[in-house]
Amino acid sequence: MMFKKFIYGLAGLFLISGQVLAQDPMALYFMEVIPQTKYTNPAMQPRANGFFALPNVNALFQSDLAFSDVFQDVGSEWVSPLSKRFNYGDLYDASGQAFNLNEQTDFQLLGLGFRTGRDYISVSLSMKGAVAMGVPSDLFRITDKGFPNGSRFDFSTLRTKMVTYKEINIGYSREWTEDLTLGVNVKPLFGVMGGMTDISRFELHTSREVFDVYVDGKVYTSAPLEIEENETPGDFPESIEGRDMDDEWGSYFSSFKNPGIAFDFGAVYQLNNRLELSAALTNLGFIKWKEDLNTLSFGGHYSFEGLEVDGSNKDDLDEALDAIGDSLKTVIDYTTGEEQFSMALVPGLYVGAQYELTKSLSLGVLSRSLMQKQNFRQEFNLSANWQPYTFLALNANYGYRVKGGGGLGGGLSLLLGPVQFFAIADYLPTHYANVNFDGDEFTMFPNQRELSVKLGLNLIFGRHGYRNRPMLAPASL
């Protein structure tokens, strides 16, 4: 069925192509011995006089729903939304108007930085990307109640954004006074592949006699795709497939097409000998997509004979969706084109405070706000940073995302001569369950909604740092 192929194909394209950008773990923000902290706040000056960053990777997964939200434990048995024993009220409380899913990674190829007087200069090259999806909660209402007479289903919160791009990060910070340090990162961007939906209306109105569907939106892509037009003008394209690239992938990823720009701004203020305040505004920018463009526009209104469907009956539900899809295939007006489009990055606002208990132990509190359209996220993090030995630094933290739950995290920095190894994580999985479906038992972690991990290697030069702030302070101080 053409409608299903379109939905599955579009989701597959975005899920496969977007495995690359991430917000760093919040635990990194106060780990001052790791030079990469300057990418969370450009005013953070690494304590080492110089560093060379070897490849490192950062990965993030976020979901509004945990396993235990979608499959509920009822009488020691896991039940799905198709079961009449499923509690949809709990599911709606967790999902809101849309169930949001983010999957992001960030691969830093190389980087370096050095101090000169009160200034710190750095540069890095990274491959970044992200997939962000929003699934309307009204889809769950179909399995909950079917298509009752006089209902209105709003699917306009359906959204998908995919981006893969290269980033050059040029950083500069300066100690303007003994207490105030300001910094900026200037980030030229070069898009590799991108895609996004822009749906202004997608509604289904039901009655006993007639179903009315209203749709209006566009899908933009910049990717190696080939679209075969339908012989009937206005019908859905005959096919949407990936272009045969053969040996072109190397040049495709190494090109500097689809330019963009982004900025980070940061400040650090030493309030007194023990208390430090800081703030940063990151990812203020966009990418302009100009190459390998394809646009699919769709819009219209149609009516067809309604169906009485029991949402718990899968056969009836499939029959109803097939009827809707067949109508969408021919009645809705589809057009294709090659429109340029812009895609904004997801800005982040960091506000933090760090209190130094001793020279080797400090406590920090951090707020992070991610300002994504229809998906504002607010997180808080409490952390303790401890340096028991001159070559070892440890972090323990607890993160909490509003409407997303909390979790423990940690960090490790190990310096062996000039080589530094670091590993940091937020929201480590701590709850697991043995799940049995149709006699097959496997292990899941039902309450995990988020996981952020970063690890890599650095070469450290000038490890004794500057003035009264060495990179590694003996624990006895």
Residue 108 has pLDDT above 60, yes or no: yes
CA distances from 164 to 296, 332, 456 (A): 20, 31, 21
CA 469/CA 115 separation, integer angstroms: 13
Average pLDDT over the chain, rounded to whole? 80
CA 194/CA 164 separation, integer angstroms: 6
- What is the percent of the chain where pLDDT is above 70? 78
Q: 74 - beta bridge partners?
A: 77
- Residue 468 belongs to some domain of the structure: no
CA 141/CA 151 separation, integer angstroms: 10
Where residue 148 sits, what CATH number does that domain have? 2.40.160
Q: What's the confidence (pLDDT) of residue 21? A: 42
- Residue 466 belongs to some domain of the structure: no
Can you tell me the mean pLDDT for 417-440? 76
The vertex-315 CA angle with 313 and 319, nearest 5°, equals 120
Return the closest-CA partner of residue 374 out of 99, 33, 48, 107.
99
Return the closest-CA partner of residue 124 out of 182, 51, 19.
51
Count other Cβ atoms within 10 Å, centred on residue 138: 22
CA 203/CA 213 separation, integer angstroms: 6
Residue 334 has pLDDT above 80, yes or no: yes
271-292 as b/e: b if 16+ CB within 10 A:
eeeeebebbbbbbebebebeeb
Q: What's the confidence (pLDDT) of residue 198? A: 87
Tokens coding 34: 């790791």
Measured between its terminal Cα atoms, the distance across the chain in Å is 70
Q: Quick check: helix, strand or coil at residue 433?
A: strand
Task: Report the range of poorest mean pLDDT among 24-38, 60-74, 146-160, 214-228.
Answer: 60-74
Of 4 and 473, the one with more pLDDT = 473
- Residue 260 belongs to some domain of the structure: yes
- Residue 297 belongs to some domain of the structure: yes
Q: What's the confidence (pLDDT) of residue 309? A: 54
Q: What's the confidence (pLDDT) of residue 308? A: 53
Tokens coding 65: 């729903």
CA 35/CA 31 separation, integer angstroms: 9
Of 305 and 55, the one with more pLDDT = 55
- Residue 207 belongs to some domain of the structure: yes
pLDDT in tens, 346-388: 889 999 999 999 888 999 999 999 876 656 788 999 999 998 8
Q: At what angle do helices 138-145 and 88-95 cross, to 10 degrees?
A: 180
- Residue 256 belongs to some domain of the structure: yes
Residue 187 has pLDDT above 90, yes or no: yes
Give the up-direction half-sphere exposure of residue 151: CA atoms within 13 A in the CB hemisphere. Answer: 19
Output the furthest CA–CA distance in the chain (Å, rounded): 80
CA 258/CA 165 separation, integer angstroms: 9
Tokens coding 328: 């969408």
Q: What's the confidence (pLDDT) of residue 18? A: 32
Rg of the chain on CA atoms, in Å: 25
- Residue 297 and residue 201 in contact, taking contact as beta carbons nearer than 8 Å: no
Residue 181 has pLDDT above 50, yes or no: yes
Structural domain total, the chain: 1
183-198 as b/e: b if 16+ CB within 10 A:
bbbebebbbbbbbbbe
CA 341/CA 259 separation, integer angstroms: 12
Task: Report the range of poorest mean pLDDT among 109-123, 125-139, 238-252, 421-435.
Answer: 238-252
- Residue 473 belongs to some domain of the structure: no
Print the domain residue range for 113: 2-461
Task: Give the DSSP per-residue string, 290-319.
Answer: -SSEEEEEEEEEEEEE-----TT-HHHHHH
Give the up-direction half-sphere exposure of residue 309: CA atoms within 13 A in the CB hemisphere. Answer: 29
Amino acid found at 11: A
Q: 334 - beta bridge partners?
A: 298
Return the closest-CA partner of residue 281 out of 348, 226, 196.
348
Of 144 and 469, the one with more pLDDT = 144
Give the up-direction half-sphere exposure of residue 287: CA atoms within 13 A in the CB hemisphere. Answer: 31
